[in-house]
């Protein structure tokens, strides 16, 4: 499929495409959309499947998701992954797809996704990290709401298991409502870790993911049209690398005009970033405000989504209300219909 064939909506006319709400006993498929399953993480995947079954869904693994199977850093060739994903998108029995893990592969098959199947039968695709590219590209091309939420193996199976019981129960309620209830999710549960880096209020669609994937996607034919950022609440997080890379990625967004279009920003908890926190190093808030300059938009930091632990859901394309001074973030629309 060529990029031209993959374009199924007019980029000049943004819209939001919501999947049908899941029902009890609907089939959820866990798929290897990027990286492989290492044998030592099989117990985590089994726990993730149990979490999904506990929410009332039937659960199945896609065929490529086999412990020990890999090609280089991926589970398979990009065309093989795309073929499997397209089969899931076309299968009417499959009602949601959960990424097993992230990785470094989605860029290899963005041009092979059957976007016509997405439009014909939109389904929730859950995941973060490399799966951010799927959310961004499909939101740009079809308007599909992207479920930036926990992956199966490192998230539902590992991070949730390590969280206190009360937090696990809270997340399960959030995820079940996110997937099954055509009413707005409402205020996300705040924690004392949330920080106001610049006060103010904003309302707009959530757009974001891992910041390096946002920057990479904007360099491809699958870049979000500029108007997708108009009035948006940009959310981002990052794992690994250096603080200077974050500064550079933010400047990429500045040069692309994105920072001039957004209405607000929400920043996740950084993980394993060299050059943050030690004496003489900048704080992440300083890096963000340095690049924003005199752009007077609200910024809320240290929100629990991304690689640092269990994820609060951040559905791409869903309208949110941000009040950084009060440290609140509320989802004003449902992710499903």
Is 132 marked active-site?
Answer: no
> According to the 3-state scheme, what is the secondary structure of 212-238?
HHHHHHCCCCCCCCHHHHCCCEEEEEC
Name residues whose C-beta falls within 8 Å of residue 133's C-beta, 6 or more positions apart in sequence: 106, 107, 110, 209, 213, 216, 217, 222
**At CB < 8 A and 24+ separation, what contacts does 11-17 make?**
11/140, 11/225, 12/225, 12/227, 14/143, 14/225, 14/227, 14/228, 15/143, 16/143, 16/145, 16/205, 16/317, 16/318, 17/118, 17/119, 17/122, 17/142, 17/143, 17/144, 17/145
Give me the count of residues in the chain: 337
In angstroms, the CA 33 to CA 60 distance is: 14
Of the residues 129, 132, 135, 334, only one is catalytic, namely 129
Identify the active-site residue in 74, 304, 307, 333: 307
Catalytic status, residue 84: no
For residue 59, give the nearest of 154, 163, 140, 157 by alpha carbon: 157
Q: Determine if residue 305 is left, alpha or beta; phi over 0 gives left, psi from -120 to 50 gives alpha, anything else beta.
A: beta
How many Å separate Cα 1 from the centre of its chain? 24
Angstrom CA distances, 309 to 291, 292, 304, stand at 26, 27, 7
Active-site hit among 237, 238, 304, 333:
237
Task: Specify whether 129 is catalytic.
Answer: yes
Q: Are 131 and 34 in contact (CB under 8 A)?
A: yes
Query: Which of 196, 299, 282 lies closest to 243 in space, CA to CA?
Result: 282
| Residue 47: Cβ within 10 Å count | 16
Name the nearest CA neighbour of 204 among 297, 319, 315: 319
8 Å CB contact between 82 and 113:
yes
Catalytic residues: 129, 237, 307
């Amino acid at each position: 499929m060529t990029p031209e064939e993959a374009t199924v909506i007019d980029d000049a006319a943004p819209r939001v495409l919501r999947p049908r709400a899941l029902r009890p006993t609907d089939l959820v498929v866990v798929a290897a959309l990027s990286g492989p399953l290492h044998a030592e993480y099989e117990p985590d995947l089994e726990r993730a499947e149990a979490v999904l079954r506990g929410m009332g869904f039937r659960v199945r693994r896609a065929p490529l998701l086999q412990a020990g199977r890999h090609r280089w850093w991926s589970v398979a060739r990009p065309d093989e992954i795309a073929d499997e994903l397209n089969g899931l998108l076309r299968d009417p029995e499959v009602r949601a797809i959960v990424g097993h893990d992230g990785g470094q592969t989605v860029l290899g098959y963005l041009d092979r996704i059957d976007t016509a199947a997405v439009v014909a039968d939109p389904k929730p695709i859950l995941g973060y990290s490399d799966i951010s590219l799927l959310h961004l590209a499909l939101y740009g091309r079809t308007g599909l709401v992207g479920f930036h939420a926990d992956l199966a193996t490192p998230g539902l199976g590992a991070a949730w298991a390590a969280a206190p019981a009360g937090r696990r129960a809270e997340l399960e309620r959030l995820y079940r409502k996110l997937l099954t209830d055509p009413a707005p999710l409402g205020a996300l549960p705040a924690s004392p870790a949330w920080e106001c880096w610049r006060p103010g209020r904003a309302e707009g669609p959530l757009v974001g993911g891992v910041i390096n994937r946002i920057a990479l996607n904007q360099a491809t034919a699958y870049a979000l049209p500029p108007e997708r950022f108009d009035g948006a609440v940009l959310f981002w997080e990052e794992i690994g690398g250096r603080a200077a890379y974050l500064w550079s990625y933010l400047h990429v967004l500045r040069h692309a005009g994105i920072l001039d279009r957004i209405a607000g920003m929400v920043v996740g908890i950084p993980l394993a970033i060299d050059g943050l926190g030690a004496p003489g190093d900048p704080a992440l808030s300083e890096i963000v405000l340095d690049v924003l300059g005199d752009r007077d938009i609200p910024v809320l930091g240290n929100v629990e989504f991304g690689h640092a632990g269990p994820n609060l859901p951040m559905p791409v394309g869903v309208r949110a209300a941000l009040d950084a001074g009060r440290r609140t973030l509320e989802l004003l629309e449902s992710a499903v219909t």
